[in-house]
Amino acid sequence: MKPPPPLFAFGAIWLALGVTAGAGERPADAAVGEGSAYDRIWDLATLYENPGGSTIRKLALTGRLQADAALFDAGDAGRHERLVWRRVRFGFKTSLLHDFTFHAEFDADLNEFDADDLDDTYSRLTDFYVAWGRNERFSVKLGKQSAPFTLDGATSSKNLITLERSTVANNLWFPTEYFTGLAALGELDGWRYHLGAYSASGDPEFGSFESGGFGLLSIGRDLPAGTAFDAASWRFDYVYNDPDFGGDVGTRDLRQVASLVGELERGRLGLRTDLSFGDGLAGQGDLLGLQLMPYYDLSDRWQLVFSYSLVSASGAPGVRLNRYESRIDTRRFDRAHEFFLGLNHYLYSHKLKWQNGIEYTHATGPDGGGGGYSGWGFTSGLRLSW
């Protein structure tokens, strides 16, 4: 027995939550009001909580359900359209022994779900780590965890304001995302830092260092108060990657990646930027990426987003198209421009939202000839997380 199509299932969830949470409340109160019906629904994910407990202080379910309706057309090059479960994850997080946190979560594939054959439903472990920390100044994480760098790469898929990470992240970040490693992170005197050493393995469970490894340094801070902006920050990310291609490698073919990320907000207007460089290896050309992402909050619930991304390769063609475009054309290119215009509707902040976007991608200089790529795409997605 197969589950209902993703957008049908999400539509039912959307309607149920909207009617239940909104009953007797103003829309703004239902969306963000303290003690709202949405709060009560999401509180059900907390199975146990005792802040003064000596062993277990909190046990909560974690996860996300994300569905897309995607239509992409590149003329004679082809067409891709599909209703798809984009991400389905389940797990739990527990706080114990005062200063420890344990988080376990796995990825499931419901697109080919069959109740009579569950072997293909489980995809991989995402998070499986133990963290220790007494305050915001210093904490450590050991186990399988995300390796955050670049603008979109350091943003959880739960909090993206576009439907997909940009072409910059797709080429310069490591989309495997979750790696086994050790990280130290925190904030000291206004400086935020993240230091990590990870296996380069793309194994769906726990990676070994037989596939090599990489190190990550990230440092940033907010700009001083008194500027013309309500909020302003910058961050520098650096990765040194040393993969062993004799094993299962989950990183990109880049020796070094450097990324300078900025974020500005003033009133309802905001801007996020990313300037990234990648030092190619194993036949991959060097990469230069630029992303500019202004956004405007039309109201407490509606948000308009624009994103422009440019990725250029020197030497051998080495620019990959983004997720749905690559379903049409898998070649590598010298340069790719991506334009995205999106409209987001937030019912309960990032925990429950409806996102829509139209995009145009133009790429030139493919490996193997045959002309470039030019195509339009539209995606409508529902995002639910807890």
How many CB atoms sit inside 10 A of residue 182's CB? 14
Residue 36: predicted pLDDT: 82
Torsion of CA 106, 110, 116, 117, to 10 degrees: -60
pTM: 0.89
Beta bridge partners of 145: 179
Amino acid at position 287, single letter: L
Task: Please give the CATH topology (third level) of the domain spanning 6-385.
Answer: Porin (2.40.160)
Report domain extents, the chain.
6-385
Query: What's the pLDDT at 89?
Result: 97
Per-residue pLDDT, 237: 98
Any idea what DSSP says for residue 328? Answer: T
Q: On the CB side of 195, how many CA atoms lie within 13 Å of its CA? A: 7
**Which pLDDT does position 30 carry in this prediction?**
40
Q: Where are the beta strands (DSSP E) in the chain?
A: 46-49, 56-73, 79-96, 100-108, 122-135, 138-146, 178-188, 191-199, 212-222, 231-243, 254-266, 269-280, 286-297, 302-314, 335-346, 352-364, 373-385
306-315 pLDDT per residue, tens: 999 999 999 8
d(CA 272, CA 254): 24
Residue by residue, what is the 3-state secondary structure of 214-245? EEEEEEEEECCCCCCCCEEEEEEEEEEEEECC
Who's near 215: CB < 8 A, 6+ residues apart? 196, 197, 198, 239, 240
Q: Decide: helix, strand or coil at residue 301.
A: coil
Burial of residue 250 (CB within 10 Å: 0-12, 13-18, 19+) is buried
Of 89, 73, 92, give the one whose Cα is nearest residue 81.
73
pLDDT tens for the chain, 386 residues long, are 454 555 555 555 555 555 444 443 333 334 455 568 999 999 999 999 998 877 899 999 999 999 999 999 999 999 999 999 999 999 999 999 889 999 999 999 988 777 667 677 889 999 999 999 989 999 999 999 999 999 999 999 999 999 999 999 999 999 999 999 999 999 999 999 999 999 999 999 987 778 999 999 999 999 887 678 899 999 999 999 999 988 889 999 999 999 999 999 999 999 999 999 999 998 899 999 999 999 999 999 999 999 999 999 998 779 999 999 999 999 999 999 999 999 999 999 999 999 999 999 999 987 656 679 999 999 999 999 99
Cα-only R_g, the chain: 21
